[in-house]
Amino acid sequence: MITSPTRPLIAPSLLAADFARLKEEVIAVEQAGADWLHLDVMDGHFVPNITFGPLVVKALRPHTKMPLDVHLMIAPADPYVTAFAEAGADHISVHPEAGPHLHRTLQLIRSLGKKAGVVLNPATPIEAVVNVLDLTDLIMVMTVNPGFGGQAFLSSQLSKISALRTLIDESGRDIVLQIDGGITAKTAPAVLAAGATCLIAGTAVYGAPDYAEAITAIREAAPPLPPETFHSPGG
């Protein structure tokens, strides 16, 4: 069932965690108040980095009640969707460029009982998602080029976030608008003002000495927006 929180959702990115202590790092951010756990899956082909696969998702699943928000930066994505779904992913997001048939990929994700997301790189126009809104639960805007954490926020993407906010509102659909890349307490206000409802933060959380303090600082970086602005696909 879809709920409507009155605050931004915060999803720490495991990419910035201590890989030698992944279980402890997951538990720590959940206790610190995180809403979702974001997992960046990279193949060294679609993006210039390699991270982890379904086995890591499966290993972490028993240790948290947070929804596992899996971002597939792999090509092709379709052959691996089922494996991540079976491993315990709650949300699976893909790039339009990662396969020939985005519509079919989103159908596959949903057929497995998972929430489906579309990820827009900095150069990917919003038109890429217009014709699949009926199959989309999440739209993620990359405010850095995907592949590495710790990059600087691309303010050029704020107009895209605003345009997507309008598109979502006009559609009347419950679609989470996620932002990933360079999110900090300093960049969050502009992103939230543009209409974002979920902020993915890696270094800003896992690089901070106090995870709870970091999450609170990002979440409270801007005045609360009207409750109807926020939507969540739940677990």
Residue 67 included in any domain:
yes
Residue 43 included in any domain:
yes
Report the binding-site residues for substrate.
13, 71, 147-150, 180-182, 202-203
Catalytic residues: 40, 180
Residue 134 included in any domain:
yes
Q: Which residues make beta-bridge pairs with 59?
A: none
Report pLDDT for 146.
Answer: 77
* CATH code, domain carrying 110: 3.20.20.70
Report pLDDT for 7.
Answer: 85
Residue 168 included in any domain:
yes
Residue 52 included in any domain:
yes
Q: For residue 26, what are the domain limits?
A: 9-229
Report the binding-site residues for a divalent metal cation.
38, 40, 71, 180
Residue 235 included in any domain:
no
Report pLDDT for 145.
Answer: 87
Report pLDDT for 1.
Answer: 28
Residue 85 included in any domain:
yes
Report pLDDT for 141.
Answer: 98
Residue 53 included in any domain:
yes
Residues of the chain predicted below pLDDT 70 = 1-6, 147-150, 222-235
Q: Are strands 138-142 and 115-120 parallel, antiparallel or unpaired?
A: parallel
Report pLDDT for 150.
Answer: 64
Report the number of distinct structural domains present in the chain: 1
Report the binding-site residues.
13, 38, 40, 71, 147-150, 180-182, 202-203
The reply to whether the predicted model has a pTM over 0.75 is: yes
